[in-house]
Structure 1
Amino acid sequence: MNGPLAGIRVIDVTQSAAGPYCTMILGDLGADVVKVERPGAGDDARSWAPPYWGDEGCTFLALNRNKRSLAVDLTSTAGKSVFADLLHRADVLVSNMRPGALDRLGFGYAAVAAANPRVVYCAISAYGGTGPKGDRAGYDPLVQAYGGLMSITGERSAPGEPPRPPVRVGTSINDMGTGLWAAAAVLAALLDRERTGRGQLVETSLLETAVGWIPYQVMAYLGSGTVPGRHGSGTPMNAPYEAFPTADGYLMVAAGNNRLWERLCRAIGAPELLADPRFGDNPDRVRHRDELAALLGEVLRTRPSAYWERVLDAAGVPASPIRTVAEVVADEQVASLGMLRPVPHPRIDGYRDVALPVRWDRERPATRRVPPMFGADTREVLAELGRTPGEIDELIAAGAVAAQEGGPVAVSRGQRGPDAGRARHPDG
């Protein structure tokens, strides 16, 4: 499987998380992704460690497979010439430099589109590039705070106690979400180019993603005037729909309708709750969620999570223990989906990566290249641009480019199974 984007070249001027995630998706889909990094440092995420896997930072490994690394000084005349040659041959440019940074270097959208009208130019930023905060830098947790996510994440305060502290969503959800939106927008622009013959400017940001994650909270506020708060593991519109303590941990129970509520009560041996007028239907249960949670907790604390999972599964009630990452990695269902794939790696024994969560004809996109060493593909890419070995040596000597002299690392056929498959600041 070469991927639907085979033959598409993506120039990746991103670092940290949101931009690299976008370009990794495009690479997984078959695009030739050339990751442009600044000499001397490279992507900031290379140093986001520990943890390390071998000598390489796990964050960088997670977001940069299926790419080639080209180290170019975009502030130098020779480096700009190399970059201009790349863009002349590019189908897509993805950047998460701070708004205006590429313009000041001479590579804003207008200049690039004039030289290559077919290019899809994707600009990722923290706050969107316009408005009072448009040109500011930002990272995922900052925008989780600014965009309202932290205000609805965390445990509810008990009556009479002070407010609980804010909680960050446990993954970089705005980064990952912005990368997904950027990739989807690039794909749509490429499809549009098939009809029009021209590329276009695509823009997205962490803030737009943050607001986009909370549509029903926003609509609830607009409709009711009530400011949404924290609901711990639950939701404001369903009950019981949260994690309950058991004898040895916590069990997430999702009884989101009256039919499941009835099954739950009978399965746990508490049919008397069905006759309680406080819990007659979902709106009643939501209004009395604290009393309901206390009553259910009394029952569920009497047995371990695994016991209740079996009981509720037999009754057709959705439920799951709260599991650790280690348990997820070892899970049979995750394994059956081929989400964690062994991939040959020249420096890391037992290397695996997290697959793109889609399949075509039951086959996942392959890992064609493990995450590159800094500048590992500089010579290869420059040779494709027509530079001779002597010219490449001169560029390296002048500091316009940098090269890792170990050469590129590619996985010849990927890893497949039956079901597997110096301008700052960036987004975050």
Structure 2
Amino acid sequence: MSPKPLQGIRVLDLSRILAGPWCSQQLADLGAEVIKIEKPNEGDDTRRWGPPWLENSKEAAYYLCANRGKQSVTIDMAKPAGQALLHALVKHCDVVLENFKVGGLKKYKLDYDSLKNLKPDLIYCSITGFGQTGPYAQRAGYDFMIQGMGGLMSLTGQPDTELGGGPVKVGVAFADIFTGMYAVNAILAALFQRQQTGIGTHIDLALLDVQVGVLANQALNYLTSGQVPERLGNAHPNIVPYQAFATQDGHLILAVGNDAQFQRFCEVAGCTELAQDERFLTNAKRVEHRQTLVPLLIPVLKQRSTDDWLLALEKVGVPCGPINTLDRVFADPQVKHRQLEIELPHPEAGQVKLVSNPIRFDNQALNADKPPPLLGEHTASVLQNLLGLDATQQTALKAAGVI
């Protein structure tokens, strides 16, 4: 695909770890030029968050998941000469992305107020744990604690009354990833606004705000009823049966979304009397009588294997699915058909396996064609091409520990 949607947009990425890099990787996949600024000899902390490591490389798998398509430039922003380089680069960029603590970049004159004087139409996106204002603004925020504070863990896990009950975090950094995606949306909106008005903006995104924002139906369940939702394990608060059931040889997710689907499930399962029972005729009644219905379904689902249920229920349009381990995920025919596992050439490992961007334009996945960069891989080329610094000047900066 050529050109990509964000071709011609340049991003100065001061972020690290996950929320910010997840955002900038998406921008790179969409065609933006992303310049990832890293501390000399250290770089993004996630480069060292292993094992596992990429074979024949020092890169951790964690770092590889969020940095495709970027250019790595090493500059020490703590040094005045480093700040001068970054100020010069800002003049060539459309977007600055950062996830430092509130006020953390002001001493380097890399805060929004300082940089908008250099480039008035600059779009500046700040990602923090708690936002630029409020009683928690100065606190550091991490995904795990945000999942807890933002209510997600109160909804995730088995009830206290069951074996193994207790709050559980989501298996990936849910708040970080969602914040990264909200940041992409906000930046795209700001770019459109700037195109219309010529005005830049300061985007303020907080992990806690995002976590509360994506509580979705659970938040409205509480705000509407005043009742605090409880953990239901794999069950759904508003739909029954909509949960995982043990089968003869594993587990099956049964996702009955309407009354007709429940009727068809009961026919396949040989329990049509349940579909005719007054207590289970509608979803609202099934939710009301959840504690009665689910125990009746448990022995029914145990009678067949997972594959048998999948085959039988898919024929009649009842949504269901297996609980796959990741080896089965990447071996799944649909995942393979959609080419969700990709490979890019890597300067140390030869090839690096990555997960495709799920967005498709005209039936083509939007993936940057460059792998996650080595530390400082593009320092020389970026400083020469954008700032006109020759080899002698760069050698002096390197000797001074600036780059």
How does the TM-score come out when normalised to structure 2?
0.96
- The residue number in structure 1 matching 2:129 is 126
1:122 aligns to what SS in structure 2? Answer: strand
Q: How does 1:174-323 map to 2 (within 5 A)?
A: 174-323=175-324
Cα distance, 1:349 vs. partner?
A: 4.8
The 5 Å alignment of 1:341-380 reads 341-380=342-381
String of CA shifts for 1:321-345, please: whole Å, max 9, x gaps.
1111111111111111122112222
**Structure 1 residue 145 corresponds to structure 2 residue 185:** no
Cα deviations by residue, 1:78-101 (Å, 9 ceiling, x for unpaired): 101111111111100000111111
Moved segments of 4+, more than 3 Å: none
**Post-superposition offset of 1:296:** 1.0
Matched residue SS, 2:105? helix
Please give the alpha-carbon distance, in whole angstroms, between the structure 1 residues aligned to 2:308 and 2:111: 60
The size of the alignment, in residue pairs, is: 399
Q: What is the one-letter code of the residue matched to 1:341?
A: I
Partner of 1:4: 5
SS, match of residue 20 in structure 2: helix
Tell me if 1:388 matches 2:371. Answer: no
User: 1:221 deviation in Å?
Assistant: 1.3
Q: What is the identity, as a one-letter code, of the residue corresponding to 1:184? A: N
Deviation at 1:367, TM superposition (A): 2.7
Supply the AA of the counterpart residue of 2:347. Answer: P
SS at match of 2:89: helix
- Residue-by-residue CA offset, 1:254-294 (whole Å, 9 max, x unaligned): 11111011001001111111222221211111122122111
Indicate the residue corresponding to 2:165 in structure 1: 164
CA distance in 2, matches of 1:208, 1:131: 12
Verify the 8 A CA contact 1:244 1:293 in the aligned structure 2. Answer: no
Instruction: Give the secondary-structure state (helix, strand or coil) at the position aligned to 1:351.
Output: strand
User: 1:350 offset after TM fit, Å?
Assistant: 5.0
1:76 is matched with which residue? 79
Q: Deviations over 1:34-84 (max 9, x none)?
A: 000112311111111112121320010010010010111101011011111
Matches within 5 A, 1:104-123: 104-123=107-126
**TM-score, normalization: structure 1?**
0.91
Measured in 2, the distance between the counterparts of 1:16 and 1:302 equals 47
* Deviation for aligned residue 1:13: 0.3
| Corresponding residue number in structure 1 for 2:60 | 57
CA distance in 2, matches of 1:362, 1:73: 42
Instruction: Find the residue that maps to 1:335 and give its secondary structure.
Output: helix
Q: Are residues 323 and 107 of structure 1, via their aligned partners in 2, closer, same or farther at CA, if it must alter by over 3 Å?
A: same
Change in 2 beyond 3 A, CA 1:162/1:309: closer
Whole-angstrom distance in 2 between the partners of 1:123 and 1:351: 30
Q: Is the 8 A contact 1:122 1:186 kept in 2?
A: yes
Root mean square deviation, CA, Å: 1.3
Q: Is the 8 A contact 2:15 2:99 kept in 1?
A: yes
Among 89, 92, 100, the residue aligned to 2:92: 89
Question: Deviation at 1:163?
Answer: 8.3
Q: 8 Å contact 2:30–2:368 — kept in the other structure? A: no
Q: State the Cα deviation string for residues 237-260 of structure 1 (Å, max 9, x = none).
A: 100000111011110011111101
Matched with 1:424 is none
Distance 2:344 2:377 in 1: 19
Distance verdict in 2 for CA 1:135–1:208, change over 3 Å: same
Q: Which runs of 5+ in 2 are unaligned?
A: none
Could you say what secondary structure the match of 2:124 adopts?
Answer: strand
Alpha-carbon contact 2:123-2:202 (below 8 Å) kept: yes
Greater RCO, CA 8 A, separation 6+: 1
Q: Tell me, in whole angstroms, the C-alpha distance in 2 between the residues paired with 1:304 and 1:350.
A: 39
How far apart, in 2, do the equivalents of 1:133 and 1:315 lie?
52
For structure 1, list consecutive stretches of 5 or more residues without a partner in the other structure: 402-428
Q: Distance in 1 between matches of 2:69 and 2:217?
A: 36
